[in-house]
Amino acid sequence: MSDRALAGLDERQREAVTTLRGPLVVLAGAGTGKTRVITHRIAHGVDTGAYSPGRVMAVTFTAKAAGEMRGRLRALGVDGVAARTFHAAALAQVNYFWPTVAGDTAPSIVDNKVRLLAHAADGIGLEPDTATLRDVASEIEWRKVSMLSIDQYAAARPSGVGRLDVSRVVDLQRAYEKLKDERRKLDFEDVLLACAGMLEAEPRVLASVHEQYRHFTVDEFQDVSPLQHRLLELWRGDRRDICVVGDASQTIYSFAGADSRFLLEFAAAHPDARVVRLETNYRSDAAILAVANELMRGRPGALELAPARAERGPEPPTVTAYEDDAAEAAGVAEAVAVRIAAGVDPREIAVLYRAHSQSPELVRALAERGIAASVLGGRRFFDMPEVRQAVMALRGASVAPLESGFIDAVRDVLRSLGFTDEPPQAGGALRDAWEARAAILRLAQESPAGTSLRQFTDELQARARTQHEPALRTVTLATLHAAKGLEWPYVHLLGLAEGLLPISYATTFEQADEERRLAYVGITRAGRVLTMSWSRGLRDRQPSRFLREIGSGTLRAAGAAASSGARNARGGSATWTGSRPDRGRAH
């Protein structure tokens, strides 16, 4: 088993996996096998007897990432590890310890913060619009994860929200907290605060947690907030076996309280910590990595990614300019259509952008060419009515003897719900429903030999619980935030214009630097081919400063040419002539 945990690792990965004791910081660049290192390290610790699975806490930031971690550990023969998000781990402890501490069941969780804020606003005579309420909800989240009181928040954010000055924002936050307490509710951030509060105030609770967990692993450590860091320190106590993994260049949630200093200063805070740098990239072509490295050169904590493959990809990165946004969407859609016609699976193609508002134009342009697309971050697969209906119908069919083979039975059930052998025209609800049912059929076709209909429906329900969604056979559209942690062979990164990337409200150096990291995340999602584009638009936008920072030299060295200006609606490439701006200040 230990040999299996160590198989296929490169030298640096193996160093991280075999370092089982004491503090360890793994600086893991994009595409360097971060999740593989985390799970193989835990498996190696269990295999060698250094760890007991029930004594290991592995935390990350999304339920999907936690589910993937559990799945990989199971594949390595390890069960019983507490692989959870920060919130899931905290909520489990709150629910477990609250009756003992408070003599009552734990409060329920607020299901809609904006709606509760609206009720609080009514109570104090305010009538903010929905957008303002959403912004105030974000401010509440930032305040709590930054561990600030309402008075401290007012001093830190004196500008107010929308048309509400800071005094009104403070009044609304106080009213929200009062209403929440009256209704005996906790919001998402309260769960972390309540857990930390119990651990700090109740020695028996703290002792119980310290007895349970001895070994800690934290994924995406660049994204921890002050509150999450405080909770981790309480969980850990004086335990020294802690491994943190992250990449400062992928810090894209500072606006929500993430603080990469915890990663960058980990070695200083733990003088005996071992530092392992993972810089061999197994995802991207060398030309793509050259662009990524140049964009982040000189930034704090930046890693120098090197390709694991010697061979070059089929195409160098390119930059294309368009006259307006519609032309850019049409140009990208046409490029996607050409790839699909050449035999590329739509699932291997992604179009990435900064803001959700950029997706409708893309959806229309792709639909005009008969190409189905899925917008990442939309409805979850197993929440789609067509999927819920299919799972229920398959469950019902599983109680009767099969009159045909397993695959045929699944196909027959789906046909009874409207599934056809050929897809309908792309670009509507009917096509979305067809793609969902087709994904269910593919899951059945990929099931092990001998699978029964009941076993298949059990598997579908297990996938729904763990958010293990199948990949639809569609082109993926995603914001840069939603794309983090994912990868595709072919990536189109559009909207590389001032006002879009960086976004118009990124006015400080720190905000602009976060936009740079977003661009870096987008670039490093690409495996074989990266195309970048921008459009002048109605307001005569300029190309993004990030294109100037990458520079024509880098693109030419990759065999590409950057664009110097928009010339026609179909778009075209030209040699970049802009000079590099000074990186030391905001532009």
Q: Could you tell me which residues are annotated as the binding site for ATP?
A: 28-35
Other CB atoms within a 10 A radius of the CB of residue 133 amount to 23
Q: Tell me what percent of the chain is helix, strand and coil, each rounded to the nearest 5.
A: 50, 15, 35
- DSSP H stretches of helix in 19-158: 34-47, 63-75, 86-102, 113-123, 130-145, 150-156
Helices within 467-557 (DSSP H only): 480-483, 509-523, 545-557
Amino acid in the structure at residue 492: H
CA 370 to chain centroid, in Å, comes to: 29
Residue pair 354/252 in contact by the 8 Å Cβ criterion: no
Closest-CA residue to 546 (of 535, 531, 561, 532): 532
Burial 159-194 (b: 16+ CB within 10 A, else e): ebbeebebebbbbbbebbeebbeeeebbbbbbbbbb
Helix 34-47 to helix 11-18 angle (10° resolution) is 40
Binding residues: 28-35
Q: How many residues does the chain have?
A: 587
Q: Which of 437, 451, 433 is nearest to 393 (CA)?
A: 437
Q: 267 CB contacts (<8 Å, ≥6 apart)?
A: 25, 273, 275
HSE, side-chain direction, 13 A CA sphere, residue 490: 19
